[in-house]
Structure 1
C-alpha cells in the first residue's frame, strides 16, 4: 500500500440537537444550547452572543406557532459558520408584521435578518411542519 491508496475520511461536522416543548421557558434552553456549542467549537464571544439572540428569536416564533408541541433545535456548522435551526409542526410560515415603535413583540424576523448572513424556512424531510434556519457569519 502506498500513500495514494490511503484515504482519510473528513471529520464529521459538529452538531448538537435538542427536543423541547414549545413553551416560553424553552427559549432559555435554546440560548444555552447555542452558547455551549459555539463556545466548545471555539467561536468568539460576540458571535456567540449574536447567535444566542438569533436562536432565541427563532424559538420564540416556534413557541408562538406551535404552543405545547415538541420542537427540535439543531446547531451545526455549514462551511465553518454556525447554522441554527428549529423545526416545529406548524405549516404556518413566520412573517414580518408592521409594528408600532412601542410594541412589545413582532421584531423577531428583523433581528434574525440583521445578525444572520442568511435565513429562511424549508419544509421538513417528513413533510410535517417546517424548519426555520439562520446561517451566522463565519
Structure 2
C-alpha cells in the first residue's frame, strides 16, 4: 500500500497490518508484535521522507510475518544511543528486540531503500 509520509500514516499502517494479519488468522501475540515493529519502521520512513510517498508491504512467508517499508530517501537508518529523556532514538532497538531478522536493502528501482523485518 502506498501512503503519504506523515504522522497519521503510522496509525494507518498499524491498522492495515493488524487487519491483514487477523484475516490471515495469525495468532494475536504475533499480530501485536508485528504492529509494534511496523509502527517503528514506518515512523522512521516518515521521518526520512516527510511529505513524500512511502510504501508498505506485509506478507506471510513460510509461516513467518514479513514487513517491508520503502521510502525514497537514500539515507540508511542508524542505531542511536537514546538518553533517558530523549523522545526518539529507540526504534531500531525495538525492531531488533521483536524481530527474528531485520535489514535494509536498496530499492529495486534504484531510488530509496526498503527496510524489512521478519517476525519469529
Please give the TM-score of this superposition, normalised by the length of structure 1: 0.85
1:80-138 C-alpha deviation (Å, 9 max, x unpaired): 1100000000010100111101211110000000000000000111010000000001x
Answering whether residue 26 of structure 2 is matched by residue 37 of structure 1, we say no
For the pair shown, which has the larger CA radius of gyration, 1 or 2? 1
Displacement after TM superposition at 1:44 (Å): 1.0
- Pick the aligned partner of 2:11 from 10, 24, 28: 28
Aligned to 2:105: 122
Displacement after TM superposition at 1:67 (Å): 0.4
- Pick the aligned partner of 2:54 from 66, 71, 80: 71
Displacement after TM superposition at 1:77 (Å): 1.4
Answering whether residue 12 of structure 2 is matched by residue 52 of structure 1, we say no
Answering whether residue 112 of structure 2 is matched by residue 112 of structure 1, we say no
Give the paired residue count. 120
Unmatched segments (≥5 aa) in structure 1: 1-17
Task: Give the distance between the partners of 2:32 and 2:46, measured in 1 at CA.
Answer: 21
Task: Give the distance between the partners of 1:93 and 1:73, measured in 2 at CA.
Answer: 17
Task: Give the distance between the partners of 1:123 and 1:115, measured in 2 at CA.
Answer: 23
Displacement after TM superposition at 1:22 (Å): 0.4
RMSD: 0.6
Task: Give the distance between the partners of 2:94 and 2:81, measured in 1 at CA.
Answer: 14
Unmatched segments (≥5 aa) in structure 2: none
